[in-house]
Each structure stands twice: as C-alpha cells, then as structure tokens.
Chain A
C-alpha cells in the first residue's frame, strides 16, 4: 500500500533552505550592485531552485523520484556555493553577509545528508 508523503513544511531542511533563499536575496540586495544582471539572476535562481526541489521531492509518493530530486537540489546548492564564492570576491564589504549565507549552506548540506541517510534506511526496510 502507498504511504502518505511527508509534509514538507514539517522539515528543518525546508525551513533552512527558505532561510538560505532569504539570505542570498538580502546579500544581493545590499551588495549586488557590483555584479551584472545575469550573475545576480543565476544566484537568485539557484537559491530558489534548491527550495523548490526540496518541496517537490518531499511531497512525492515515489521514493526513486524523491531521491533523484533531492540529489538535484544538493547539486544545485553546491553550484550556488561555488558561484557565491566567486561573486563575493567582486563585492566589497560583503564578507559579514556572506558568512551568514555560508552558515546556512553548511546547515542545509548537513540536513541533506541526514535526509539521504533516512531514505537509505527506508530502502533497507
């Protein structure tokens, strides 16, 4: 029998990714003037896609798709991390804001690993 999918709004992973999205937007609002529009859009997009994919994955009834989407979200987060590092080098005085974003990235990555471990446990059962 099919199991009821988890409510994604009960997950810490989802909430941390929302915080990350907000932190990236704040960083770009305050210090984004030095970046061109395309770079800004790419950063915003990556931050949005991470949250979007987490919501999609967690509301799935199919575990395979859930695993796939979570993997995609994690890849997107890693891309965001490397892009942000490059972007911050162009922005003066953005290190304080950036350290907040980096903290969120680390938290979300840890929560991703936890979610993958949970999914693996479910598979073994």
Chain B
C-alpha cells in the first residue's frame, strides 16, 4: 500500500535543509579558488553535487508520499557522500584546499549525512509500521 503523509512538512524549518544550504554556499566559495584547469571537472561536479543535496532534500520533504521522500533522501545521501569525496580529492592536491577549511567543511558534510540518515531510518520505521508519524 502507498503511504501518504497526513501533513506536508515545511523544509525551511528543518535543520538539515538549512545546514545543507549553508554548506552549498561554502562550496560555492571554495570552487572560486580552484585552478582554471579544474573548471570542467572538479568545479562543475562540486557545484552539481552540493546543489543536488539541497534540491533533493526539499523535493523529498515537501512530497506527499513517504516512498518518494525516502527515494529523494537516498539520492541526497549519495550526493553528500560525493561532496565528501571531492573534499578528499581537493585536500590531496596542493593549493586547492587548506586543512582547516577541509576539517570544517567535512564536519558539516558529516552532520548533514547523519541527519539525512536519521530521517531515512525514521521513514523506514513509519513504512514498516513500527513508528507513528510525527506531526512536529
């Protein structure tokens, strides 16, 4: 049976959505400092994956079906993992990213990852009938 939500959550009030927006802004600042030859490669892909996190989060949260939210959040989870992989690649190259900035951005990304995962588990419990839907 397809499970529908009883109310649609406002994504703007969610911590993970706000954190991912700030993270996206930080990534946009970071890519400006990348060398010119990364324009078609790391530059593009970092922007794409950080945008994908935010877009999929909102699409999932403001959807009426739990199944769809699960799917979108799963995509978001993949995208935030991609961002972390790019941060790893950037810190390994000389002059791309400082260690301190890497530490800060990676910590933010990890927080977003955990929050998305938490919500995924919550949806899974709702879908399997072991948890009631929360209204707040």
- Give the secondary structure class of A's interface: helix
Check B78–A21 contact: CB distance below 8 A.
no
User: DSSP class of B's interface residues: helix, strand, loop or mixed?
Assistant: helix
Contact with B along A31-73 (1 / 0, CB 8 A): 0000001001100110010011011111111100100010000
Number of interface residues of A (CB under 8 A): 30
Chain B residues with CB below 8 A from A69, complex form: 78
Which of under 10, 10 to 19, 20 to 34, or 35 or more describes the interface residues of B? 20 to 34
Residues of A with C-beta under 8 A to B37: 37, 40-41, 44
- Please report A residues at the B interface, Cβ cutoff 8 Å: 1-2, 4-5, 8-9, 14, 18, 21-22, 25, 37, 40-41, 44-45, 48, 51-52, 54-62, 65, 69
Interface residues of B, Cβ cutoff 8 Å to A: 37-38, 40-42, 45, 49, 74, 77-82, 84-86, 88-89, 92-93, 113, 117, 120-121, 124-125, 128
